[in-house]
Amino acid sequence: MNLHAPTSMAVTVVIYFIVVIGLGLWASRGTRNLADYYIAGRNAPRWVAIISGSAAVMSGFGLVGLPGLAYAYGGVVFFLQVFAILGFSVAAFLASRKMRTLTEVKEAYTVPDAMALRYPSMPRVMRVVGILGLIVGMLGYLSVEFQALGVVLSSLLPISYWSGVLLGTAIVAVYTIVGGIRAGIWTDLFQFSLEMLAGITVIVTVFILVGNPAHILAVLARSP
């Protein structure tokens, strides 16, 4: 899919890539050990971590997938996002304090580390179980995210869908591998700011062009 976006759009995308890679390189300067790489040295600002989590909930599925589903099946699909937010919130409430305590008392930086400490009689087995669980759980999630990258980049740049997937994946891999979790949360902050700016701009523009919510619903009802 390619909509033949103007050159200015391609330049904007390139600038965006440069910024996120730059954030990764900046984050790498403060990454000296495993604690820095996996948990940002325990000194990341709380508000940045919170916004990073919010950006993860929105992600490609929230920004690309849900609007598409809403267009096809109606606004009821947005309830999926409600349950996603609740799921992340409950998981954070149940696990975040315990995980932070483990990182302060023991060298536990990941979920497999925590599982190995919880079951000391079979630490290797629990690490493998934890790794497999993460792979299974993240496979579907990340595949949707990379698919969204392909859809968006192939719409904005003169490239194919699969080229967009590979290019987007490569950019994410570079800043993540180089800067670790610190790069992840600060790029999330940057992306979340862009998402909010774009969302507010779209809402204001729709109200200016279409009118009140009743008119907006009428336009959507008439759309093919």
pLDDT tens-digit profile of 114-170?
888 888 889 899 999 989 988 888 887 788 888 888 888 888 888 888 998 999 889
Residues 6+ apart with CB under 8 A from 210: 216, 219
Closest by CA to 65, choosing from 165, 141, 156, is 141
C-alpha 211/C-alpha 82 separation (Å) is: 27
Q: What is the pTM of this model?
A: 0.73
C-alpha 147/C-alpha 150 separation (Å) is: 5
Q: How far is CA 41 from CA 33, 50, 95, 175, in A?
A: 8, 16, 19, 17
pLDDT tens-digit profile of 177-208?
888 888 888 888 888 888 888 888 988 888 88
165 burial class (0-12, 13-18, 19+ CB within 10 angstroms)?
buried
pLDDT tens-digit profile of 86-120?
877 787 788 777 777 777 777 777 888 888 888 88
Residue with tokens 């996120």: 20
C-alpha 63/C-alpha 149 separation (Å) is: 11
